[in-house]
Structure 1
Amino acid sequence: MLCGIDEAGRGPIAGPLVVAGAILNEPIEQLNDSKKLSEKKREELFEKITKTSTYHIVFKSSKDIDSKGISQCLKESILEIMNSIKANEFLMDGNTSFGIDTLQHKIKADATIKEVSAASILAKVSRDRYMCEISKDYPLYNFEKHKGYGTKAHVEKIRKYGRSKEHRFSFRLKELGEEKGGIQKSLF
């Protein structure tokens, strides 16, 4: 039995890292890399996956990322999934096993292995929903639009208002002159 694992939120400048693992207990049609699916299709597939699969989803906050680093957060999340789901094999999308001997990895697995596609969708939808939810608490940043990625509009909001508690302070922004020095303080 294969458990596919994938993440969402490795690169954004705000919000959590979300890692999901999934075992398909019955076939689900139209699974693919979450980035290749429309939001509507991801939501439909998310409901099917959560109703018919064995899965586990892990959130690591921006504070976790700042204190431990993104790689350590990924490793901890993968190990939590491996301890929570009984499977014969674990396969992660990407090019590294993060030093975990029993974890296999494959580039583009999220587009070619159904279990990893399912994990990709679980992670992406969970993270997007979270970002939309917190946008109510941080209306100045429009998280519901860019989901925490470093868009021009998002960077301009940080320039104007500083970072919120949901931002990653360890991620430096060239556009703000941070590559050599200080990070802006949080206003919220």
Structure 2
Amino acid sequence: MEAEIQCGIDEAGRGPVIGPMVISIVCCDTEFLKGIGVKDSKVLSRKRRSEIFKSIMDRCHVRYRILSPEEINRMMSMESLNKIEEDEIIELLEYAESTVYIDCYDVIEERAQEAIERRSGKKVVCRHKADAIFPAVSAASIVSKVLRDAEIDKLHEKYGDFGSGYPSDPRTIEFLYGFLKNAREPEKIVRMHWSTVGRIIDEIKNQKKLF
């Protein structure tokens, strides 16, 4: 029986206020992916993700983009995060020949699917929580997550413990207050267009006015 090759795209790090976003495409034999236990990366331990990542990289066709905070800051001065992700997806689609399943970045699946197909000329299926439905998207979520974790480890070594980098993390917020107050080039690791950052900067400015 001929192997069924499936392609999937997913990202890691869309929501954090600190660190990069990684977006990946994986094309691979679905039976192989099921056999190595691919799942939504969020339900796997870091150790298990790393093990599966190695198998994916050895066997599957993988491409990815690591968007640094500086790149995200530059692009968000001109367009939305949804548009940035859409642009990256269009570029990754060049490496796919068959239908590509995508973890949908837009609240309206049909709108994202129509925009991508119109711009790329490729057949795609955009679904929310696609990383829990399609093996290739699960694989892409694992690749993106492992690569982003490695980048975050490097940033922790250089800048200290800023927690997860998500606005919901108290450690991240505590770090941001000190970092935004003292850093010369915060845009190197901080996404300056996030509302969380704007709020903290305003609070820092108001504190200075009191003294």
Q: Same fold (TM over 0.5)?
A: yes
Q: Kindly provide the CA deviation profile for residues 5-49 of structure 1, in whole angstroms up to 9, marking residues without a partner as x.
A: 001111000111110000114613211100011111111110010
1:149 alignment partner, one of 156, 166, 172: 166
Which blocks of at least 5 consecutive residues in structure 2 are unaligned?
A: 206-211
SS in 2 for 1:100: helix
Tell me which residue corresponds to 2:208.
none
Q: Greater helix percent: which structure?
A: 2
Check the 8 A contact 1:75/1:98 in 2, yes or no.
no
Q: Which amino acid aligns with 2:91?
A: E
Check the 8 A contact 1:34/1:117 in 2, yes or no.
yes
TM-score by length of 2: 0.76
Runs of 4+ in 1 over 6 A off after TM superposition: none
Tell me which residue corresponds to 1:186.
none
1:79 and 1:175, CA in 2 relative to 1: closer, same or farther beyond 3 A? closer
1:12 alignment partner, one of 3, 16, 20: 16
Q: Which has the larger radius of gyration?
A: 2
1:97 matches 2:113: yes
CA RMSD of superposed structures (Å): 2.4
Tell me which residue corresponds to 1:27.
32
1:104 and 1:53, CA in 2 relative to 1: closer, same or farther beyond 3 A? same
Identity of aligned residues (%): 29
1:111 alignment partner, one of 115, 119, 132: 132
Distance in 2, Cα, partners of 1:120 & 1:156: 29
2:177 alignment partner, one of 153, 159, 166: 159
Distance in 2, Cα, partners of 1:114 & 1:179: 44
SS in 2 for 1:55: strand
1:3 matches 2:7: yes
Distance in 1, Cα, partners of 2:18 & 2:135: 29
